Amino acid sequence: MPFGIEFDDIRQYIAPVIYALVIVAVLPLMAGYIVLLERKVMAHMQARMGPMRVGPHGLLQPIADAVKLLLKEDITPKNADALMFWLAPLLSVTMALLAYAALPFGPAFQIADLDVGLLFILAISSLGIYGIVLGGWASNSHYSLLGALRSAAQLVSYETAAGLALVSGLLLGGTLSMKGLVEAQDSQGVWFIFVAPFSFFIYLIASIAETNRAPFDLPEAESELVAGYMTEYSGFRWSLYFLAEYANMIVVSGIAVTLFLGGWMRPLSGVHAHIFGLPYELLDLLPALIFFGLAAWCTKLALRQGEQIQKMVMFLFVGLFVVLGAAMAWSLTSTSLMPGIHGAFWFIVKVLVYLYGFLWFRFTFPRYRFDQLMKLGWQFLIPLALVNLVMIGIGIVLAQQFLWPLSLAMIAANVVTLIVAFWLVRQGDKPSIVVLPAEDELPAAGPGEIR
């Protein structure tokens, strides 16, 4: 190659830089359109249209929001620590973006394949709490400080449960490498969600609480804290906290997909039925068929639109989905491109399904009280995660040392965990009994006191 650059150099040094630039450039746009998706899903659940004014079908609403935030006045409170007030949201966003370095978006799209990739992601993403705590403290506001303290307590509580749930998956995978965890599920022929469903359930609940999402959004509760740690922020610095939140949502979704949902593996990856003797597998046609199905659905919607601009936009989506479907079908002819393209497709689809769970929870369950939040974390999730971890360890020992079938050992482990879960629920339902002193044990009433 010219200038003495070899292909291996491109793959080792230049490609990670390109991946990093793509993430930094695309992620803010993705966060804006996840917000639009959230508002559209909420509107659909409430039988209304959602944003429709800015752009066809409201598609330019995220751009309008970004321009508005950039033009808004940026206010720093009096007597606030100006330096910390300025750095805090940047710290949260930086830690959220840095966590993407070890997250594999497919077999061919990863900035750094670290041997301790999962540990790196957890360590870096947990540092984002410092941005919230410093922002709340530097704002010189009681509301902001209370929100920051709530966030710190919430993160400590639920990160413990999430860590124990992830250790259960690591016992099954036997590695901290993100790629290694996917390869372990491929070699064992099963996604870990089917082997350790309680680990996935615990991590799902803990990941919602870790990212301060409803119904666990107590650090920014508008009802009593007027937006909590963000109360004194305005303009684009205010939006940086939300950018960090949505970036962290994608991170925790990527961890769940990698550890429990097979990563970039397609569903039924162990089935290798071919098409009439051709070298293409039947299930490998699913991505192309999904895009062509979306094109047909958009065509149906376009014909039902009353305004010409709406029809044009829907037909643009028809063309986009047809092009993507054709690209997926064409990639089947290339053994070098097909794994990377299809792997990225399945990974993104699984992440979107997990993110839809975040939205579904937000628009379904009412906000918890803070005492209920702490009770759920410390009295239910952490004990259940400990029991689940011990039982999975025992199941693995039974399978490896006593030659039990792994499926039978894991079924026994999950049954015991389920029994403990029911017991913990019953213990939590018992009302607290307050023993009041007898009437003759009460001190005498003082002057002006009414008893």
Which pLDDT score, from 0 to 100, does residue 30 have?
Answer: 84
- Is 451 among the domain residues? no
**pLDDT above 70 (res 445):** no
**What digits encode the pLDDT tens for the residues 68-109?**
888 888 888 888 888 999 899 999 998 988 888 888 888 878
- Is 331 among the domain residues? yes
Which pLDDT score, from 0 to 100, does residue 20 have?
Answer: 76
At 450, is the pLDDT very low, low, confident or very high (cuts 50, 70, 90)? low
Three-state SS for the chain is CHHHCCHHHHHHHHHHHHHHHHHHHHHHHHHHHHHHHHHHHHHHHCCCCCCCCCCHHHCCHHHHHHHHHHHCCCCCCCCCCHHHHHHHHHHHHHHHHHHHHHCCCCCCCCCCCCCCHHHHHHHHHHCCHHHHHHHHHHCCCHHHHHHHHHHHHHHHHHHHHHHHHHHHHHHHHCCCCHHHHHHHHHHHCCCHHHHCHHHHHHHHHHHHHHCCCCCCCHHHCHHHHCCHHHCCCCHHHHHHHHHHHHHHHHHHHHHHHHHHCCCCCCCCCCCCCECCCCCCEHHHHHHHHHHHHHHHHHHHHHHHCCCHHHHHHHHHHHHHHHHHHHHHHHHCCCCCCHHHHHHHHHHHHHHHHHHHHHHHHHCCCCCCCHHHHHHHHHHHHHHHHHHHHHHHHHHHHHHHHCCCCHHHHHHHHHHHHHHHHHHHHHHHHCCCCCCCCCHHHCCCCCCCCCC
**pLDDT above 80 (res 428):** no
* Range with the poorest average pLDDT among 101-105, 196-200, 218-222, 250-254: 218-222
Which pLDDT score, from 0 to 100, does residue 321 have?
Answer: 93
- Is 439 among the domain residues? no
- Is 178 among the domain residues? yes
**What digits encode the pLDDT tens for the residues 308-339?**
888 888 899 999 999 999 999 888 888 778 88
Q: Where a domain ends, among 316, 333, 357?
A: 357
| Residue range 424-445: mean pLDDT, rounded | 65
Which pLDDT score, from 0 to 100, does residue 197 have?
Answer: 94
**pLDDT above 70 (res 1):** no
Structural domain tally of the chain? 3
At 191, is the pLDDT very low, low, confident or very high (cuts 50, 70, 90)? very high
Same domain for 91 and 210, yes or no, is yes
At 276, is the pLDDT very low, low, confident or very high (cuts 50, 70, 90)? low
Same domain for 346 and 362, yes or no, is no
Same domain for 186 and 131, yes or no, is yes
* Range with the poorest average pLDDT among 7-11, 24-28, 148-152: 7-11
Same domain for 55 and 177, yes or no, is no
Range of the domain at 292: 282-357
Same domain for 238 and 381, yes or no, is yes
Q: Where a domain ends, among 46, 71, 96?
A: 71
- Is 275 among the domain residues? no
Same domain for 192 and 174, yes or no, is yes
- Is 434 among the domain residues? no
Same domain for 367 and 315, yes or no, is no
**pLDDT above 60 (res 2):** no
- Is 203 among the domain residues? yes
- Is 77 among the domain residues? yes
Which pLDDT score, from 0 to 100, does residue 79 have?
Answer: 86
Same domain for 91 and 147, yes or no, is yes
